[in-house]
Amino acid sequence: MLETVIKRDRDMGTPARVSEKTVTLTIDGQEITVPEGTSLMRAAADAGINIPKLCATDSLEPFGSCRLCLVQIEGRRGYPASCTTPAENGMVVFTETPKLHDLRRGVMELYISDHPLDCLTCPANGDCELQDMAGVVGLRNVRYGYDGANHLKAEKDESNPYFTFDASKCIVCNRCVRACEETQGTFALTISGKGFDSHVSAGQDQPFLDSECVSCGACVQACPTSTLQEKTVIMMGQAEHSVVTTCAYCGVGCGFKAEMKGQEVVRMVPWKDGQANRGHSCVKGRFAWGYTTHKERVLKPMIRKHITDSWKEVSWDDAINYAASEFRRIQSQYGRDAVGGITSSRCTNEETWLVQKLVRAAFGTNNVDTCARVCHSPTGYGLKQTLGESAGTQTFDSVMHTDVVIVMGANPSSGHPVFASRLKRRLREGARLIVIDPRRIELVSSPHIKADFHLQVRPGTNTALLSSLAHVIATEGLIAEDFVAERCEEKAFREWRDFVSLPENSPEAMEEITGVPAQAVRGAARLFATGGNGSIYYGLGVTEHSQGSTTVMAIANLAMATGNIGREGVGVNPLRGQNNVQGSCDMGSFPHELPGYRHISDNTVRAQFEKDWGVTLQPEPGLRIPNMFEAALGGSFKGLYCQGEDIVQSDPNTQHVAASLAAMECIVVQDLFLNETAKYAHVFLPGSSFLEKDGTFTNAERRISRVRKVMEPKNGKSDWEVTVALSNALGYPMNYKHPREIMEEIARLTPTFASVTYDKLDKLGSLQWPCNDDAPDGTPIMHIDQFVRGKGRFMITKYVPTDERSTRRFPLLLTTGRILSQYNVGAQTRRTPNVMWHGEDVLEIHPQDAEDRGVAEGDWVGIQSRAGETVLRATLTDRVQPGVVYTTFHFPESGANVVTTDSSDWATNCPEYKVTAVQVTRVSQPSEWQRQWSRFADIQQKLLRERSRETEAALTGK
């Protein structure tokens, strides 16, 4: 375990510089050679010489305001700041002289003269750079009294739920402001006033909660005093040890140091060496971890015969044995294929591996699927067909080398905020941006960023728009002919070029379909094809369509046609939604594929697993999630093991899903809370949070990172142990003693993971697959010399209109997405103070559409589709175009997926969440579904409470 006693990461003062040229200088008698552009402070730190500092930190560009880091340079007048002075050949530098000592002590004395001297009771005691530097410079007394003007009575800002701002302790070093600008890119903080009146302010001197601050924590991390301090540290004191682990929210996969006191988390600090996040974080990973100890967590196994019965708390053995006996009964009565399992993208690779193994080996069926079915399954299909591998091509760092970025069907600022911060930094440096989205997302126009083109496409017409972009590139001679000739299949390319060159694919012909002006399409196409390194980042706004797979292939076509594959700064990059969507797919969670994306019908591959697992596997693909629902309603599918997924809330056409579950005879749910799916369960197995387990996650850049247990499971078992116990009870033995043994099996049977070991992950920090004999330390960039499939394959991507089109009855198009403070179905974030930012799902509607319907801001509106009806509060905004409405799906009572239909991608059955034809009307009461949901939820909570009372009575003997 990578565990340490709390020790501040060494801060080198200024960022490292990369240069082929070097300079050699002498510092305090040592000859030092460093890359050209390196600051004197960094050069000294490289030599083990620590120059005092306050405003400097190696995560930010040097600022030179604190005047503590002064040095003396032979032959030069004055005492320059070492943080802002670059090293030069032949320099002779002194960092310690009597004069420097006096200067530094005088500067520190001025700081302390306007600073509270309450170090013993200060929450930063033991973790305060101001305190440290006072000791380093030898400050022993302060000659200036407190009778004059000072800031000691400045008021605290306690508005943010996670941290406090104590202005009386601020030294106006600017680090928080610079972190907000450089690291986060929000520009929410500023220095207001001049001279003595200078002070840090959020927005226009607003409370933090009311400002544009996104609570990423960068300012808190940068603060050298206790001005900005986590409230958990104020309550609990300084931590005693830390464990490096990986965030369990989005697909960025940020590394964190869980700082601990015994079994309690004091705070989560972004890991400076995290290769996905580089020391940055967002509000969810940084602060929203309190759900792991929330009072609503269910920690004891429970069983019941019918969903109308009260829950009965039982031992782990009794629960496991009951579940196993029910699965055996169902298979005996209805047949082997009457049961199946759903793996989770919130769980580790190792846990997911075991669930799909349990279904195939213990159940004896291939009825296994995963939530990637409903988000990124088109990515797997589309990229496999064109490039040969079902994953993105780059690292997140690659974006710093791009010149033109297309962001399509994704809102990184909300869904992948740490990546968004890095992207915005590159845009501020001069990269160009094309946004393709029906909605005006934050990237279109925000501080110091403006997209060159916002192609505000009509929902459902992505493929048509990409064909028109390709038309311009093909007909204006902008294809990278040399790349295509060398790297791609000639016949397929010729057919594709002829197809996209057809007049019906021109921007002018497509304008009526897509709603995007032809001139804008032509400008964007020319920019992408001629602007240098071009990269494409896309999200669920691409995949969750009836033509999701087609659109992914069209993106790959565009990248190949412009030669933007196989080097830094380019590539096709899917932004995965949940923390381990990539891993759940890698581990063989689809009914037609074994781990490593190899088809179940392949006799050779299947034989390898059969030999290793000691069973005979079925050669035919099993049921996908939608097929399971249909089979349940048809009476042939009766039992489900669902680990870590809330399919009732997350899957489309909620009423259809609920009816399917109600038709089953045994549903086993393994989760943290009694979620919407668990309300239909017969067995509840308490899940473990990411803080309570060992294993690995694989993020959107194929990066495999360690998840390390920081506390013992509060339910008594990690998720992998539960699956092992269930398999053993079913008669198929699993005898793992630690997740590292599961990874050894994964590596043994999965070619892309062949060289992955826990020891190597501990040593290198992370690995990107493929990781095998050809690439023992992983593969940061895919398809460098050739595509995985050999030659790249262009695919014909003909636009086929979706059935979900606006009609007289349903004239508006509903599209859905996420918001920064909430995550997926909200099971985790709703149980944290994040609800202060977003406490309900609302419907965004254009003012013109609202006026046509007599809807005002804050009115309740009914949203009706052919699948169902729900009621939300309306908010009027021009972020959406006329004819389009938008909502999120974080709160179960909102019923967003009551409205979404069973329309899905032609190749993968990925639901078409992004296009639902609806009508919106002003209403005064909840929908019938919401009334039924409320009644059902109340009953299920009552049954859960009765379980609690019965258990208490049994324990007390009353």
pLDDT value for 953: 58
pLDDT value for 11: 92
pLDDT value for 873: 97
Q: Over range 345-359, report the average pLDDT.
A: 97
What CA–CA distances, in Å, run from 652 to 580, 668, 844, 889? 21, 21, 20, 11
pLDDT value for 852: 97
Q: Give yes or no for a cis peptide into 926 (omega within 30° of 0).
A: no
Residues in the chain: 958
Q: Over range 59-86, report the average pLDDT.
A: 95
Task: Tell me which DSSP letter residue 489 carries.
Answer: -
For the sheet with 163-166, list strands across it.
156-157, 163-166, 228-230
Of 107, 128, 132, 112, nearest to 50 (Cα)?
A: 132
Q: What is the dihedral of CA 766, 772, 773, 776, to 10 degrees?
A: -10
Pairing of strands 72-73, 766-768: unpaired
pLDDT value for 484: 97
Residue 839 and residue 822 in contact, taking contact as beta carbons nearer than 8 Å: no
Q: Which residue has the tokens 């005093």?
A: 225
Q: Which amino acid is at 704?
A: I
Average pLDDT of the chain is 95
Q: Which tokens sit at 158? A: 């306690």
- As a whole number of angstroms, the distance between CA 348 and CA 493 comes to 39
Q: Is the pLDDT confidence value at 329 over 90?
A: yes
Q: Which tokens sit at 262? A: 């015994």
Task: Tell me which DSSP letter residue 196 carries.
Answer: G
- As a whole number of angstroms, the distance between CA 67 and CA 137 comes to 12
* Secondary structure (3-state) at 128: coil
Q: Over range 912-937, report the average pLDDT.
A: 96
pLDDT value for 952: 55
Residue 376 and residue 581 in contact, taking contact as beta carbons nearer than 8 Å: yes
pLDDT value for 6: 65
pLDDT value for 5: 65
Pairing of strands 683-686, 404-408: unpaired
Q: Which tokens sit at 695? A: 């294993």
Q: Which residue has the tokens 């032509």?
A: 522
- As a whole number of angstroms, the distance between CA 668 and CA 686 comes to 11
Which pLDDT tens digit goes with each residue over 605-634? 999 999 999 999 999 999 999 999 999 999
Of 665, 657, 659, 664, nearest to 322 (Cα)?
A: 665
Q: Is the pLDDT confidence value at 99 over 50?
A: yes
Task: Tell me which DSSP letter residue 615 carries.
Answer: S
Q: Which amino acid is at 932?
A: Q
Q: Which tokens sit at 83? A: 């943080």
Task: Tell me which DSSP letter residue 250 carries.
Answer: B
Residue 440 and residue 879 in contact, taking contact as beta carbons nearer than 8 Å: yes
| Chain centre to alpha carbon of residue 448 | 24
Strand partners, 25: 32
Residue 467 and residue 500 in contact, taking contact as beta carbons nearer than 8 Å: yes
Pairing of strands 860-864, 916-922: antiparallel
Of 566, 387, 404, 562, nearest to 480 (Cα)?
A: 562
pLDDT value for 535: 98
pLDDT value for 955: 47
Q: Which tokens sit at 445? A: 């126009």
Lowest mean pLDDT among 337-351, 705-719, 876-890, 899-913: 899-913
Which pLDDT tens digit goes with each residue over 781-814? 999 999 999 999 999 999 999 999 899 999 999 9
Which pLDDT tens digit goes with each residue over 827-884? 999 999 999 999 999 999 999 999 999 999 999 999 999 999 999 999 999 999 999 9
| Chain centre to alpha carbon of residue 124 | 30
Helix or strand (DSSP H, E) at 457: none
Residue 324 and residue 726 in contact, taking contact as beta carbons nearer than 8 Å: yes
For residue 89, the tally of other CB atoms under 10 A from its CB is: 11
Residues 6+ apart with CB under 8 A from 76: none
- As a whole number of angstroms, the distance between CA 661 and CA 683 comes to 13
Kindly indicate the confidence band of residue 958, based on its pLDDT and cuts at 50, 70 and 90.
very low
Residue 639 and residue 327 in contact, taking contact as beta carbons nearer than 8 Å: yes
- Phi and psi at residue 706, in whole multiples of 5°? -75, 140
- As a whole number of angstroms, the distance between CA 190 and CA 753 comes to 47
| Chain centre to alpha carbon of residue 382 | 22
Exposed e or buried b per residue across 678-711, where buried means at least 16 C-beta atoms within 10 angstroms of its C-beta: bbbbbbbbbbbbbbbbbbbbbbbbbbbbbbbbbb
Exposed e or buried b per residue across 856-895, where buried means at least 16 C-beta atoms within 10 angstroms of its C-beta: eeebebbbbbbbbbbbbebbbbebbbebbbbbbbbbbebb
Of 764, 889, 690, nearest to 253 (Cα)?
A: 690
- Phi and psi at residue 598, in whole multiples of 5°? -110, 130
End-to-end Cα separation, the chain, in angstroms = 45
| Chain centre to alpha carbon of residue 167 | 33
Kindly indicate the confidence band of residue 475, based on its pLDDT and cuts at 50, 70 and 90.
very high
What CA–CA distances, in Å, run from 229 to 115, 127, 271? 16, 11, 18
Q: What is the dihedral of CA 23, 26, 31, 36, to 10 degrees?
A: -20
Kindly indicate the confidence band of residue 950, based on its pLDDT and cuts at 50, 70 and 90.
low
Exposed e or buried b per residue across 252-271, where buried means at least 16 C-beta atoms within 10 angstroms of its C-beta: bbbbbbbbbeeeebbbbbbb
Pairing of strands 666-671, 683-686: parallel
- As a whole number of angstroms, the distance between CA 458 and CA 513 comes to 8
> pLDDT over 70 for what percent of the chain?
98
Q: Give alpha helix (H) positions in 29-154.
A: 40-46, 98-113, 129-136
* Secondary structure (3-state) at 656: helix
Q: Is the pLDDT confidence value at 954 over 70?
A: no
Residue 609 and residue 348 in contact, taking contact as beta carbons nearer than 8 Å: no
Estimate the share of the chain in helix, then strand, then coil, as percent rounded to the nearest 5: 35, 20, 45
